[in-house]
Amino acid sequence: MSAVSSPNWLYGAIQRRRNRSLGGLYLVVAAFLILYAVLFPGILSVGGFSKFTQNWFPLALVTMAQALLMLNGGITLAIGPLVSLGAVIAATTMGTALGVPGGFLAVAVTGLAIGAVIGVIVAHLRLPAIIVTLAGSFIITGVALILLPRPGGFIPGWLSNTLAGHTPVAFLLLVVVLVLWKAFLATPLGLGIYAAGDNPVGAFRSGVPVERVKIVAFALSGLLAALAGLFVAAQTGSGDPIIGAPFTLNSIAAAVLGGVGFLGGKGTMRGAICGSLLLSVMINVMFFLGFPPVAQYVAQGLIIVGAVAVPELLAQWRARR
């Protein structure tokens, strides 16, 4: 036990441990993917895989944006409006002198800045995140509608084709985002998100800059949501000031499906990503099985309640024995 086998032994062992208790989720995701491939074999082609991952990509980004805050003991209701604002800014800037790089930068800076402002309010004024982000969601929606009252704007065709064409660029981008997240989590600040979420007083006494961690978490969350908006704009070829609305609740649903707790510090990002994949596949499967849209909503709700209740009931059952 006391021998250091290799320099990376500890890191690897910790990472492997994090997969524990996610086995069931992995199985369910795999089962749904197989079902999906059976129902719709097209996913096995490059084009089909690309389209599938393009549908999943924005949900994966906003789920990360949400899980990041839930792990830190917070929550955000501003995800959807931030997606809309990201789409609107992309569609209104890329046709101007700023061009595509300027548009990218504008979206990223806006997401980071709005997130950071919300984070400062939550961390330093000690207001509840749910209220601050609710207020923020109204303001952001309003700003998006002022910038672009009705769907429109301009996204260069080549950008749409690159991001949402017949190549799996979206999937590769997701891999890049996940690698960056892993790197972030290997910094003291990244682990501070967990620590400050689970035991803020203890983290403070241990020397974790709890407030700074919270602001960074909100800023990164804002960045991810705004970038998801940029992608959605590229997918549709234009900006729509209310296109992000469903993402708010779907991001929470996917994070919860992935086992991220509401009280902070509980859960993993890989779980949340699996949750978003599961939600995305479920929606697609129900669509292909011909569920009417209303039934889809009901089924989605039941599955989410079940996903939270089953582990809880299992734990109670084990405790009683």
Partner 1 sequence: MTDAKPLLEARQVFKGFFGNPVLKGVDIALLPGRVHALLGENGAGKSTLINLLSGALQPDSGAIVVDGKPVGRFSPAAARAAGIAVVQQELSLTADLSIAENIGLGAFPRRFGLIDYAALHRGVREVCDMVGLTEPLDMPVADLALGRRQMVEIAKALYRKPRVLILDEPTSSLSAHEAGILARLIETLRDRGTALLYISHRLNEVQALCSHVTVLKDGGVTADQSLSGIDGEGLVRLMVGRETGDLFPPRAVSSPGALRISVEGFSAGLVRDIGFSARAGEIVGIGGLVGQGQEDLLLGLYGAIPARAAKAEVSGKPGLPAHVGAANAAGLVYVPADRKHEGLVLPHSIASNLILPSLGRLARGGLRDRAAETNLIADLARRLTIKGDVARPVQALSGGNQQKVALAKWLPLDPSVLLLNDPTRGVDIETKREIYHMLRAFAAEGRLIVIVSSDTPELVHISDRVVVLREGRVAAQLSGTAITEEAIVGAAMGVNTQGVAA
Interface ranges with partner 1 (CB under 8 A): 1-2, 4, 7-11, 13-14, 16-17, 183, 186-188, 191-192, 194-195, 198-199, 201-208, 265-267
Residues 6 or more apart from 46 whose CB is under 8 A from it? 166, 167, 168
Q: Which residues is 239 bridged to in the sheet?
A: 152
The nearest distance, CB 69 to partner 1, in angstroms, is 16
Only one residue has tokens 């290997």, namely 186
SS3 238: coil
Number of H helices and E strands in the chain, helices first, is 14, 0
Q: Which is nearer to partner 1, 204 or 262 (CB)?
A: 204
Q: Which is nearer to partner 1, 101 or 207 (CB)?
A: 207
> What's 4's DSSP letter?
-
Only one residue has tokens 């609740």, namely 249
Tokens of 107: 């979206």
The nearest distance, CB 199 to partner 1, in angstroms, is 6
SS3 290: coil
The nearest distance, CB 19 to partner 1, in angstroms, is 12
Q: Which is nearer to partner 1, 81 or 265 (CB)?
A: 265
The nearest distance, CB 187 to partner 1, in angstroms, is 6
Q: Which is nearer to partner 1, 136 or 192 (CB)?
A: 192
The nearest distance, CB 258 to partner 1, in angstroms, is 14
Q: Which is nearer to partner 1, 10 or 27 (CB)?
A: 10
- Residue 309, Cβ density class (10 Å: 0-12 exposed, 13-18 middle, ≥19 buried): exposed
